[in-house]
Structure 1
């Protein structure tokens, strides 16, 4: 099955994904520092 995304949708998804990764990384770093 093939999925096609227009530029706006892809940009929105990438933005959310980058923010999620950034948040996850900060959380992970915080946990490591607290250990």
Structure 2
């Protein structure tokens, strides 16, 4: 694997982590509002 592939993999993992974080915050916000 090249360095570019590694960077893309790291960015993908980071993106998934941020997406999950936003989903959890969204569910928590709706739960509090409801």
**What band does the TM-score fall into relative to the shorter chain?**
0.7 to 0.9
Query: What RMSD in Å do the two structures reach over aligned CA positions?
Result: 1.3
Structure 1 segments of 4+ aligned residues over 6 angstroms from their partners: none
Uncovered stretches (5+) of structure 1, i.e. residues with no partner: none
Question: Normalising to structure 1: TM-score of the pair?
Answer: 0.82
Gaps of 5+ in 2: none
Higher helix residue share: 2
TM-score calculated relative to the size of structure 2: 0.84
Deviation at residue 32 of structure 1 after TM alignment? 0.2
Counterpart check, 1:14 vs 2:8: no
